[in-house]
Structure 1
């Protein structure tokens, strides 16, 4: 249903409701108003049914709109557009094709045979699903926590000679944020091209003074779907969760760490912050950079920046350290892209599936895959933070524990601080690392970007970090879960109702 029609229906719904309860309207008039009110409610339900969305979700919206029509329909307009996001972002999806068509083909894959048949099948699936080619001539360095990421990032920014392109979900103007802003302003004043994208909701705390300072220095900076625009276009619930930095076409950064003091463990609420980031060089950087350019085209109102303009001036690497895919997903791509790849990774495993994620709200397919893998005798482990940063995410995550524990999945809660990294390890040889959590928001709502690694030294480092993290975890048991009180059970059940939008 078009936005104009939805707005008219909402206004009519509100008007007929208040006229129906008004003492200034005659009894006959109130009957007419209530009749129209019911016709509008039923029309809304019919329109939702015709969208052919998941039956479970359709029934949930039916209940919400039938019992709380105005509130329910208002929430639907803001958060219920999961299956119609293709319409909302149709223009961006069409524009993105121009960028993908300009990507250079990766070098011939003479080293393809280094991968096993299972790994080749998974790589082919990723390529078929996302058009992301595998790269054997790229390098990934794991940056463990903010203490490793930010010094590397600042060093690369200070060495920039041509351009800096930076995109973050959360960008704060606190101590570390100011350090980065200082470098961006310095480089812009020196004549470098500096472009910045920040999410309009995630970066609400980025001060206007800081934004003005960057603009005055010559930094081109845009918000991604700012609050007013998002409300007007029904896109409020679709957020840019990506964290991308490209410097001179030589080096790039992607992963779980935003820009803020909390990511260095300076938050009194969270204390130690456990996270994982990647530094990338080589031909895969072109794909990561293209994702930024597509987003820039969207936020800037149509400015096209050709990827070949930003090609690296350094000689391409000929060293092989495994392989990688860089994959973007979001409302401008096929729905469930990241969920499908995660599912394929789990079902491809032969020995082990290790997952670390701060938010675990899996779909039915993912729960089935994990349970089946554990039932087959695979080593299936899940690490989540003991304390989360939100009521619904905490108890929504916990609501899935009993089902998985009963199927043999080992679940650990991280006790040292807040675990925010998003890592999946398959057989100790394949890894996913990036911005996408194992939750329905990352699968259906957010703009995300992940790197999938095959047999590289970075995978071995991720395995070592995972094993070390287990030392700071508490393993849950079925007996322990059975002892939790009624209050906890109610919180879990209530939070699970909101799982599609967490």
Structure 2
């Protein structure tokens, strides 16, 4: 071999070994670390390239720097807020406080808005009534009729002097063309994209998406949930296609300060700028619900939501009710659900019978036996795809927000959830899930075992890609 060839071989071996060592030192999951190490060593050219594009979390340090420079006005706890919480959930409240670093807020009102018609009407009214600022973050912002209605409202708010800021995920905007941001910018609305993917130069952050859906107006009213902006969430769609079922939430009270702070963190991450706001004034208490925001993401927030979820399930004594469109939970949560069922707690998991991502349904089918075997109730809903994300424990503790129970939401995406300690709200949300369960089909161990061999192979192959689905 010529000297140049030896140099190239040595360089390739050095790069493949270096990337394998990086995976060994920085990957937290042994299976993931082993997979990347094997890939980089067995494919010394292709492996390091893929690891560079998909395996390295480049935003962790930047996110820590930005958040380190910003001292939140919310980090002042109120030791007395735990008093109204039932004794069974005080440990859960302590877990959430330790994990999030955010205080509990009391005096909130949480209203459920079922379907796009109800949610969009309330959101547009809030934008129309705003007098100071409107902050909107969404994963998908379509340019169809619904998107244009929001664009009109945002432009009108901007024209009357309201500070309007819109943050759209850089990958999510490609779900619909043309991109709505062009129209918004023409109307003077300040709109930014979160980590937009690029071909030249290649984007190394393809998987790191901002999946949060937030609207905050004047710092007093917020909206949070899993609903994007577009015709797809309407029951009566203009194109007469079947709409997606979903539920969104209007939040009023002190917790809106936390929602606004999270939006501003994301805005600062993207732009490097944080708008000057009026001196913080404690929002008026509007109701009886105690609430706190939970953020999760591939930066310093990694695994926070999983920890809180495991704690909530462990605290359950009567009933755990889960409704989610995508269900590929981490091992810790699977074990917590199994343990809850074994100790006599009723566990119900409601999934869509028709999934918009078939490979997610396939992968889920491969792991359901682990829960069904221990008498966890798993149900498939008939009819239109249900995109609802909702968790209720003992009809008192509820989680609402953007996160699905899969690796993409819990490890790769930036998500937001709101935990609500309120019996009236918990009863209403448990009733919503129970109505869906009564019309759903319960999955049995027999039908999982009786799947044809080709289907079982297909499901198992899809399951192998769980970390990236």
TM range (shorter): over 0.9
Residue pairs, 1:419-430, within 5 angstroms = 419-430=386-397
Equivalent residue for 2:384? 417
Give 1:360 deviation, angstroms. 1.0
1:487 aligned residue (450, 454, 466): 454
Residue pairs, 1:24-39, within 5 angstroms = 37-38=12-13
Q: Would the alpha carbon gap of residues 96 and 52 (structure 1) be closer, same or farther in structure 2, given more than 3 Å must change?
A: closer
Equivalent residue for 2:24? 49
Inter-partner Cα distance in structure 1 for 2:241 and 2:86: 41
1:275 aligned residue (236, 243, 246): 246
Give 1:38 deviation, angstroms. 4.4
Give 1:218 deviation, angstroms. 1.8
2:97 aligned residue (124, 127, 141): 127
2:274 aligned residue (291, 304, 310): 304
Inter-partner Cα distance in structure 1 for 2:49 and 2:386: 34
Equivalent residue for 1:63? 38
Per-residue Cα deviation, 1:88-109 (whole angstroms, up to 9, x for no partner): 3322223224444323747x56
**Match of 2:311, SS?**
helix
Inter-partner Cα distance in structure 1 for 2:112 and 2:382: 22
1:438 aligns with 2:413: no
Inter-partner Cα distance in structure 1 for 2:48 and 2:75: 46
Q: Would the alpha carbon gap of residues 477 and 338 (structure 1) be closer, same or farther in structure 2, given more than 3 Å must change?
A: same
Q: Would the alpha carbon gap of residues 43 and 160 (structure 1) be closer, same or farther in structure 2, given more than 3 Å must change?
A: closer
Contact 1:422–1:437 at 8 Å: present in 2 too? yes
Inter-partner Cα distance in structure 2 for 1:71 and 1:382: 40
Give 1:208 deviation, angstroms. 5.4
Inter-partner Cα distance in structure 2 for 1:397 and 1:148: 31
Q: Would the alpha carbon gap of residues 209 and 115 (structure 1) be closer, same or farther in structure 2, given more than 3 Å must change?
A: closer
2:348 aligned residue (369, 381, 401): 381
Contact 1:173–1:205 at 8 Å: present in 2 too? no
Q: Would the alpha carbon gap of residues 386 and 29 (structure 1) be closer, same or farther in structure 2, given more than 3 Å must change?
A: same
Give 1:280 deviation, angstroms. 0.6
**Match of 2:228, SS?**
coil
Give 1:270 deviation, angstroms. 7.6
**Match of 2:172, SS?**
coil
Equivalent residue for 1:22? none
1:290 aligned residue (261, 273, 287): 261
Q: Would the alpha carbon gap of residues 403 and 267 (structure 1) be closer, same or farther in structure 2, given more than 3 Å must change?
A: farther
Inter-partner Cα distance in structure 2 for 1:308 and 1:119: 35
Give 1:221 deviation, angstroms. 0.7
Per-residue Cα deviation, 1:406-455 (whole angstroms, up to 9, x for no partner): 12111111212111111111111111110111111111111111010112
Equivalent residue for 2:216? 246
TM-score after normalising by structure 1? 0.87
Equivalent residue for 1:328? 295
Shifted more, 42-51 versus 145-154: the winner is: 42-51
2:160 aligned residue (186, 190, 193): 190
TM-score after normalising by structure 2? 0.92
Inter-partner Cα distance in structure 1 for 2:171 and 2:348: 33
Q: Would the alpha carbon gap of residues 147 and 303 (structure 1) be closer, same or farther in structure 2, given more than 3 Å must change?
A: same
Q: Would the alpha carbon gap of residues 289 and 39 (structure 1) be closer, same or farther in structure 2, given more than 3 Å must change?
A: closer
Contact 1:321–1:456 at 8 Å: present in 2 too? no
**Who wins on radius of gyration, i.e. which is larger?**
1
Equivalent residue for 1:143? 113
1:223 aligned residue (193, 198, 201): 193
Contact 1:416–1:472 at 8 Å: present in 2 too? no
Residue pairs, 1:311-350, within 5 angstroms = 316-317=284-285, 320-350=287-317
Q: Which runs of 5+ in 2 are unaligned?
A: none
Shifted more, 202-211 versus 231-240: the winner is: 202-211
**Match of 2:99, SS?**
helix
What is the number of residues matched between the two proteins? 468
1:393 aligned residue (360, 363, 366): 360
RMSD value over aligned CA atoms?
2.5
Contact 1:286–1:307 at 8 Å: present in 2 too? no
Equivalent residue for 2:128? 158
**Match of 2:257, SS?**
helix
1:72 aligned residue (47, 57, 81): 47
Equivalent residue for 2:146? 176
**Match of 1:41, SS?**
helix
